[in-house]
Structure 1
Amino acid sequence: MMAHTWAVLAVATLVVVLLCAAGFLVRVRHLAGQVGSFECAWRVKEGTRWFSGVASFRSESLEWYRLMSLSPRPSRSFARIDLEVEGARRRRAQGRVVEVRCRDALGSFDLAMMEDSYAALVAWVEAAAPQQPRLF
């Protein structure tokens, strides 16, 4: 009887692990397949740990999804009107990865991405319509 219980528990655990893995793969495939998405790592300013993720351009915000997550919601959202790209530098002399210092209404942070994605980010930020003052 005890062996039967352990076998059922092992099968149930295996099913849960496989479902989580399938959900993770479907989520990553969906995020990477969106128009305007790119690989992008994020860290808090002066932080030492980078978090891998996928960023996606929206009409009024840059949505950042943490890679190692099952959540369908973005982990961070940066409003386009508040986002400022302050500076960039290459990670290595011959590398194509660029570290970008950014600022928004909540503070400073760093993003790491490929050169082409950096060019797209700068163009997207600069192409934002000017903010109109509210009368009411």
Structure 2
Amino acid sequence: MPAAGVWVLLAVLVAAALVVALGASRLHTLSHRVGSFPCNARAGGNPAAAFTLGIAHYAVGRIEWYRCWSLSPRAARTWLRDRLVVTGRVPLEQAGQADQYLVQCRYEGTDFELSMSAAAYSGLASWLEAAPPGRRDLVL
């Protein structure tokens, strides 16, 4: 009987190691794609709420946002370029986070906030401003 318990424990450990390996592989793949950048998100209007760690990726006409701690191959959020509006940005240097911005956004009437590096914000602003003609009001 003790041998059965050892096999069960071994199976649980192998399953846990497999889940960790899959998660690490997913995170590595997402973070090394061309057009990906670290980008944390939270709902707007509650400055005490915690950010959810994530990785954003530029796609054709949209940004796809993936949670860091997930096994899902699909993006948790997708924002189309023609519906995403940056309503403000605040440097987070006062909060001890050098080279970081709090970017306030609106998508289809829903406010949310993103935390990203200054370089990532420059890329986001450029991407939004490079929209087709008639869509130059996307960045504050």
The answer to whether residue 88 in structure 2 is matched with residue 109 in structure 1 is no
Q: Provide TM-score, normalisation by structure 2.
A: 0.89
2:45–2:111 contact (8 Å) kept in structure 1: no
Provide, for residues 53-111 of structure 1, a one-character-per-residue CA deviation record: whole Å limited to 9, x for no partner: 00001111110000010111000001111000111011123611100000111511000
One-letter amino acid of the counterpart of residue 52, structure 2: F
Question: How many aligned positions are there?
Answer: 131
Partner of 1:54: 55
Q: Which whole-Å CA distance do the structure 1 matches of 2:19 and 2:62 have between them?
A: 29
Partner of 1:123: 126
The answer to whether residue 9 in structure 2 is matched with residue 10 in structure 1 is yes
1:81–1:131 contact (8 Å) kept in structure 2: no
Structure 2, unaligned runs of 5 or more:
136-140
For residues 34-113 of structure 1, the aligned pairs below 5 Å read: 34-47=33-46, 48-93=49-94, 95-113=98-116
Q: Indicate how the Cα distance of structure 1 residues 17 and 106 shifts in structure 2: closer, same or farther if over 3 A, else same.
A: farther
Q: Which whole-Å CA distance do the structure 1 matches of 2:123 and 2:25 have between them?
A: 26
One-letter amino acid of the counterpart of residue 43, structure 2: V
One-letter amino acid of the counterpart of residue 124, structure 1: W
Q: Provide TM-score, normalisation by structure 1.
A: 0.91
Q: Which whole-Å CA distance do the structure 2 matches of 1:15 and 1:72 have between them?
A: 22
